[in-house]
Amino acid sequence: MRHTFDMTPFTRSSIGFERLLDQLGSLSQMDTEDNYPPYNIEKVGEDRYRIALAVAGFQEADLTVTAEGNALTVTGKHTETNNSESMLYRGIASRSFVRRFSLAEHVVVKEAKLSNGLLVIELEHQIPEAMKPRRIAIGGENHNRPETRKIA
């Protein structure tokens, strides 16, 4: 059973949260999405993440990883081989795919590696210096007071 959420009450009093509200609203549509290829998302550090996609049968030339804005897209174009006549059973999926991931602000793709049928994508949340917490020095009474001069 699917529940749909009405985001109207939130949009009336929220400014700048349109993207987040759109993502929450689209959660109800996630079940219709194809689940191929299977993947894992892992947090491997304070600000580091790893996505591993099972892409058995794909070569590096068949895969494309694209980061654009707050979206990460992995595309696999499987090239057909002419050995389908000699294939008795095909249990390894060999279809093309497009897998999309939404990234939070300031999450960047560090690298992508293909090894042993797994495409591993390393991500890092890089908080800009201006957004990091900073300590503000507290001055004493005389510290912020303008200098006074005695006139003789």
Q: Can you say whether the dihedral through the CA atoms of 93, 95, 96, 100 is positive or negative?
A: negative
d(CA 62, CA 80): 11
> pLDDT class for 37, splitting at 50, 70, 90?
very high
| Same-domain pairing of 26 and 43 | no
| Same-domain pairing of 50 and 124 | yes
d(CA 123, CA 98): 19
pLDDT reported for residue 146? 56
| Same-domain pairing of 21 and 69 | no
Question: Following DSSP, what letter does each residue of 64-87 receive, concatenated?
Answer: EEEEETTEEEEEE-PPPPS-TTT-
pLDDT reported for residue 33? 58
| Same-domain pairing of 122 and 50 | yes
Q: Is the pLDDT of residue 72 over 90?
A: yes
Mean pLDDT of 18-22: 73
Q: Does residue 148 fall inside a structural domain?
A: no
pLDDT reported for residue 120? 98
Q: Is the pLDDT of residue 3 over 70?
A: no
Domain holding 8, by residue range, is 1-33
Q: What is the domain-level CATH number for residue 87? A: 2.60.40.790
Domains in the chain: how many in total? Answer: 2
Q: How many other C-beta atoms can be found within 10 angstroms of the C-beta atom of residue 123? A: 24
| Same-domain pairing of 70 and 105 | yes
Residue type, 19: R
